[in-house]
Amino acid sequence: MFGYVTVAKSQLSEKDYKTFCAYYCGLCRAIGRECSQLSRLGLSYDITFLAIVLSSVIGKEPETVSHRCAVHPTKKRLSVVNDMAVDYAAAMGTMLTYLKLEDDLRDEHSLKAAAGMAAMRSGYRRSCRRYQPEADMIRGQLAELSRLEKDGCDSIDETAEAFAKILENMFTPGFIEEDTLRRSLAWLGYNLGRWIYIMDAYNDMDSDMKEGSYNPLLAGGKSPEYYHGEAAREIELSLTFTLENIASAFELIDLGGNKNIIGRIIYTCLKQKQKAVLSGEDAVMDNRCLLRGTTNGSGSRLRRNEGK
């Protein structure tokens, strides 16, 4: 889940943007503290979205402190601290990144993946000790996704389902106990995962065709031109329907003071990203306040989203 949840500074109030940045910086610090310093290579806006949603439903006002860091040594920046949702998201992001690297190494013998795994191994092991059931879940779903890819599955719905279930589970941690809330969070996570997977498949069609890599949209013998042409409307409708499901789940969740931030991301930023990908003009968001160089290092279906 890398590179498709984006934040446009122009779409948020100054206060809300600073709040998002505080979660982003807090997550970066939490990864370094809870996992390992090198695990911060897996930092992404997508995992920040997970952190802010779960932090919001807990109902506790986030605690923030001002820090300097190596990336921003001249000016202190606010970071969210002492937040169980942020710590949880740090571990989930680390495990997902590591296991995708592992999958990439196994399937493609990628030296980049091997180097990434070496860098993140200690952070992954620490995360697994705290969240073993979640690690097993991610590993199992990625194995199912790998099986579908090896079988040349030509159903985008079937392959997207395997990834969607990872996010469905990530959005329903054990510290969220209320059943109705868990169902809404599960629906939000599931549809976000489905949307990300289909977006990535569409965005990578041309490069996958050139490289001979698996892509569920191409597995049935169709060409990228088919999906850019007569089938483009079908893809757009599927993605828009999935975005509407995300929005319907969002409307059922009490997100406190962060509801506007999360709503703007869902209703404006994701929609803008979708439009940019479908038009072939992938959006360049204004993230000047945030850390640069967000990486994923992962392979298979979600491996090439640096800078998206």
**pLDDT tens-place string over residues 40-94:** 988 999 999 999 999 999 988 889 999 888 777 888 889 999 999 999 999 999 9
The secondary element (H helix, E strand) that includes residue 223 is none
The yes-or-no verdict on residue 297 having pLDDT over 90 is no
- Does residue 231 surpass a pLDDT of 70? yes
**289 pLDDT more than 90:** no
10 Å Cβ neighbour count for 119? 19
Q: Is residue 298 over pLDDT 60?
A: no
Q: Which of 62-71, 81-90, 129-138, 169-178 has the lowest mean pLDDT?
A: 62-71
For the ranges 32-36, 60-64, 163-167, 248-252, the lowest mean pLDDT is seen at 60-64
Tell me what the pLDDT averaged over the chain comes to.
88
Which pLDDT band holds residue 282 (cuts at 50, 70, 90)? low
Say how far apart CA 294 and CA 292 lie, in whole Å: 6
**Greater confidence, 292 or 4?**
4
Which residue is listed with tokens 């099986």? Answer: 147
Number of other CB atoms surrounding residue 193 within 10 Å: 25
pLDDT score of 103: 83
Identify the pLDDT of residue 60. Answer: 84
The answer on pLDDT for 6 being more than 60 is yes
Confidence tier at 290 by pLDDT (50, 70, 90):
very low
Please, is 146 exposed, middle or buried when counting C-beta atoms within 10 Å of its C-beta (0-12, 13-18, 19+)? middle
Who wins on pLDDT, 30 or 297?
A: 30
Confidence grade of residue 11 (pLDDT, cut at 50, 70, 90)? confident
Cα distance between residue 165 and residue 247, in whole Å: 18
Residue showing tokens 């993230």: 287
- Half-sphere exposure in the Cβ direction for 105 (13 Å, CA): 15
Tokens standing for residue 209: 């065709």
The enclosing H or E element of 78 equals strand 77-81
| Nearest-angstrom CA–CA distance, 152 and 148 | 6
State residue 192's pLDDT score: 97
- At residue 292, the pLDDT reads 31
- pLDDT over 80 (residue 288): no
**Greatest mean pLDDT range, 161-165, 206-210, 292-296:** 161-165
What pLDDT is attached to residue 2?
A: 66
Of the candidate ranges 9-23, 192-206, 248-262, 279-293, the one whose mean pLDDT is the lowest: 279-293
Q: Rounded to an integer, what distance in angstroms lies between the CA atom of residue 76 and that of residue 283?
A: 29
Helix extents (H) in the chain: 14-34, 45-58, 84-108, 111-130, 132-150, 156-170, 179-203, 205-211, 224-228, 232-251, 259-264, 270-279
**In the chain, % of residues over pLDDT 90:** 73
pTM: 0.89
| Confidence bin at 281 (pLDDT 50/70/90) | confident
pLDDT band for position 96 (cuts 50, 70, 90): very high
